[in-house]
A and B are shown apart, each in its own frame.
Chain A
Amino acid sequence: MENRPLEYDYTVAKMFMLATIVLGIVGMLIGVILAFELAFPSINTILGEGLAEYTNFSRLRPLHTDAVIFGFTLSGIFATWYYVGQRVLKVSMAESGFLMFIGKLHFVLYVIGVAAVVVSLFAGVTTSKEYAEFEWPIDIAIVVVWVLFGMSIFGLIGIRREKSLYISVWYYIATFLGIAMLYLFNNMEVPTMLVSAPDGSAIGGAWYHSVSMYAGTNDALVQWWYGHNAVAFGFTVPIVAMIYYFLPKESGQAIYSYKLSLLSFWGLMFVYLWAGGHHLLYSTVPDWMQTMGSIFSVILILPSWGSAINMLLTMKGEWQQVAASPLIKFMVLGSTFYMFSTLEGPIQAIKSVNAIAHFTDWIVGHVHDGVLGWVGFMIMAALYHMAPRVFKREIYSKSLMAAQFWIQTLGVVFYFTSMWIAGITQGMMWRAHDEFGNLAYSFIDTVTVLHPYYAIRGVGGLLYLTGFLMFAYNIYKTMTAGRKVEESELASASPMGA
């Protein structure tokens, strides 16, 4: 082995890789259970009436969303940051005892936060704000975790050797700033023990319980400004950060246009923050604000496609790599699903389309072709690329990875096609009426019609979960049984065993 004075230190990256896989399994497993509960309601009480409180849809649903968003995805973001950050700034975490301490503290507090979330949500303790269900003590803990993430980012930038910040670092910084702003404002809440009734008497309630500082339409506006931008700064910005690093690196190709990456960045930052109003079409929100939400959603196609096309063009002349490497397949299909999802979203945000789509399963389908096809694929691809470099071993099995790719792709296709059909059927049935304006169908009529599509969705989710377990097994075997590799084999395409 050649003499190298300094190595990147992936200790913290490895910790978050483990968290990504564990929380991914938990979140997706709960998702599959929920899908089958919708198709076969008796599963809601599968462990008996006594435990029905813990197994019913409403108790498990926030556990699914929060586990995949704040568990799987955030861990993936942290894992890739602690890997990519060092490499593109050309500085090792081993060079700073302080940053290493902050990184480890970040991980430990994050795990404690996750445990608190799991326990409290299972116990039914919730603020009832979607994707912001955590009560105030947990919110404060999460702010501390986030500040530590920021210290890691800016600390590493502070001791860098590469003066210019690579485009991925811009996206990681935007993730940090965006989520910080959103989280703080949406979670402004008052503990109920501090609130008094109009007559001055104390309301009381549990010490950990709180109420939002906003009410009515204002609360809805802040909530969806937060909710939609959580998609922006949790599911889009950091995942774009990943693909801008991992696809060029794995394929050995320079980004097709670095300038396009810069202007797409500013375009995305400019446009995304205004689009959240599309969640509140036909509500009590002022009409101009709804229109603004629709218009900015449509404009959002441009910066989104700017990044996605930039990635596909990075493979120009190198498409044989897509055929040859399942790892590149994950990223190219991820980028394609990103394009698909960022076209579908704006279509749904158009008012006349939204009149049919709103509250239907089509929305659920849209979210899932984005998160399964784009976020999930990209995070798994990132971890596959990182594994040989952090463990100094080749990826255990290429054929297993290829099988996983096709199983999961089939799962995603089952998921979104069934939800398209279910959603549009649902929307049409809800609106149908006779010549006197009487509704043509009752709610239970739609449930009966949708049953087969719910079953197909459950199968799609199960296929995706199966693929994720194959991924976990492949990474585990890479770590323990993969052939040892030298640094010289790790320049671009990841080494893979048969």
Chain B
Amino acid sequence: MDIATLQAYGYFVLTVGLTVILYAYIYHLYKNRKDADGHDYEEYSNIALNDDIVDTPVNAVSKTEDK
């Protein structure tokens, strides 16, 4: 196989692979609804809505620091 054919196969595999990953990610988001920290993804909209410096973070960096 010459380099151009290899490139073409590589390109095809990459495209299909990335498409599968993207759809798997969509499936994951809608199936689990929550991230690894147990927060519903939709809660993160509040990061913008409650963004005063005195507001409580949605997901604080360290819970022990903010007691």
Contact = CB atoms under 8 A, between A and B. Distances in A.
B45 A161 contact: no
Contact of A163 (B25, B43, B57): B57
A10 to B, nearest CB: 12
A257 interface: yes
B60 A166 contact: no
A248 B61 CA distance: 24
Given A164-B58, A262-B41, A88 B47 contact: yes
A163 B37 contact: yes
A259 B59 contact: no
Interface string A140-166: 000000000000000000001111101
Contact of B29 (A167, A245, A262): A262
Nearest to B61: A163
Nearest to B40: A258
B53 interface: yes
Nearest to B30: A259
A255 interface: yes
A249 B48 contact: yes
Given A160-B61, A162-B59, A163-B59, A249 B51 contact: yes
A350 B6 CA distance: 27
A248 B49 contact: yes
A282 interface: no
A348 to B, nearest CB: 23
A160 B60 CA distance: 9
A163 B36 CA distance: 12
A216 B48 CA distance: 47
Contacts, number: 86
Contacts of B41: 258-259, 262
Contacts of B59: 162-164
B44 interface: yes
Contacts of A288: 8
A197 to B, nearest CB: 31
Given A90-B51, A259-B29, A263-B29, A254 B57 contact: no
A4 B54 CA distance: 8
Contacts of A167: 44
Contacts of A90: 51, 53, 55, 57
Interface string A231-265: 00000000000001100110010110111001100
B26 interface: yes
Contact of A255 (B25, B37, B45, B57): B45
Nearest to A90: B57
A423 B41 CA distance: 45
A270 B18 contact: yes
Contact of A87 (B45, B46, B51): B51
B49 A6 contact: no
Interface string B2-13: 000000100000
A4 B53 contact: yes
- Which residue, of A7, A92, A162, A267, has the highest number of chain B Cβ atoms within 10 A? A162
Contacts of B49: 248-249, 252, 254, 492
B53 A162 contact: no
20 contacts: A4-B54, A8-B53, A87-B51, A87-B52, A87-B53, A88-B47, A163-B37, A163-B60, A164-B39, A164-B44, A166-B47, A249-B51, A254-B45, A254-B49, A257-B42, A258-B43, A258-B44, A262-B41, A267-B22, A270-B22
Given A6-B53, A92-B53, A162-B60, 12 more contacts: A87-B48, A87-B52, A90-B57, A161-B60, A162-B61, A163-B59, A163-B61, A258-B44, A259-B41, A262-B29, A263-B25, A263-B29
